[in-house]
Structure 1
Amino acid sequence: MLDSNTEKIIIVEGTSDKRKVKSIIKEPIEIICTNGTISISRLDELVDYISGKEVYILVDADDAGEKLRRQFIRELPEVEHLYIDKMYREVASAPEHHLATVLLAANIDVHTEYLER
């Protein structure tokens, strides 16, 4: 966890997801990787850390991503879930245009070149 001053946090599964999302967003947002799974102790730390912040969950549209999403729904019901189209399956392989649209719909500022087709 890097910057306790940011008001928004996006939680993704892997570092390739983090790199892709980071290149698209324009505002200062902390991006946290779960590396596919998250332990109960790590989740407890995360709950304390994200208190009072806007938190978004952006995970792959596959079985592992859905399992992680269900865990967050159970433990952090107040966070907002962002969904990529199932045809792309992975955040890292989704087109920048698609991710930019998903992020913009959540009121996250993105670089406009990713919104152009």
Structure 2
Amino acid sequence: MEELSRVLIVEGKQDRIKVQRVLEDDIQILCTYGTLGLHALEEMIDEFLLYERDVFIFTDTDDSGVKLRKMLNQELSHAENLFIDRRYRQVEDTPDHVLASILQAANMKVKVDYLKGPEYYE
């Protein structure tokens, strides 16, 4: 199996499902299931060869998401950070068209329908 060159790190399973729904790109999405300990983070970095890949960090804006982002950035200084607006608090609660715009701005290919705002579906 060919390893994908890019990886997107999210916190929870629902975040991964939400992102997979709008992405069209072949990007590996890793789920941390919340805040990792340093040992678990080092194991994830080694297992998925994260020092050798393009890494994107996409966490929630709550305390645990900020803490996880900080830890990931310390270990993966080459990673690019993606941010949601604080009013959404969680990646999984971010509207699809907003999520698609954030991912597209990071040069990820998204499904075109998800770039349309809610007014398109009314």
Structure 1-normalised TM-score?
0.93
Q: Corresponding residue for 1:82? A: 82
Partner of 2:85: helix, strand, or coil?
coil
Q: Corresponding residue for 1:105? A: 105
Q: Provide the C-alpha distance between the structure 1 equivalents of 2:40 and 2:32, rounded to a whole number of angstroms.
A: 9
Bigger radius of gyration: 2
Q: Corresponding residue for 2:120? A: none
Structure 2-normalised TM-score?
0.89
Q: Corresponding residue for 1:66? A: 66
Task: List 4+ stretches of structure 1 deviating above 3 A.
Answer: none
- Is there any run of 5+ residues in structure 2 with no aligned partner, and where? 118-122
Q: Corresponding residue for 1:14? A: 12
User: RMSD of the alignment, in Å?
Assistant: 1.2
1:46 Cα deviation (Å)?
2.5
- Is there any run of 5+ residues in structure 1 with no aligned partner, and where? none
Give the aligned residue type for 1:56: F
% identity of equivalent residues: 39
Structure 1 residues 4 and 14: CA distance shift in structure 2, 3 A: farther
Q: Provide the C-alpha distance between the structure 1 equivalents of 2:103 and 2:63, rounded to a whole number of angstroms.
A: 22
1:82 Cα deviation (Å)?
0.2
Partner of 1:57: helix, strand, or coil?
strand
Q: Corresponding residue for 2:40? A: 42
Q: Provide the C-alpha distance between the structure 1 equivalents of 2:29 and 2:3, rounded to a whole number of angstroms.
A: 13
Q: Provide the C-alpha distance between the structure 2 equivalents of 1:97 and 1:53, rounded to a whole number of angstroms.
A: 27
Assess if the C-alpha contact under 8 Å between 2:11 and 2:32 holds in 1.
yes
Q: Provide the C-alpha distance between the structure 2 equivalents of 1:86 and 1:13, rounded to a whole number of angstroms.
A: 16
How many positions carry a matched residue from both structures? 115
Partner of 2:44: helix, strand, or coil?
helix
1:4 Cα deviation (Å)?
5.8
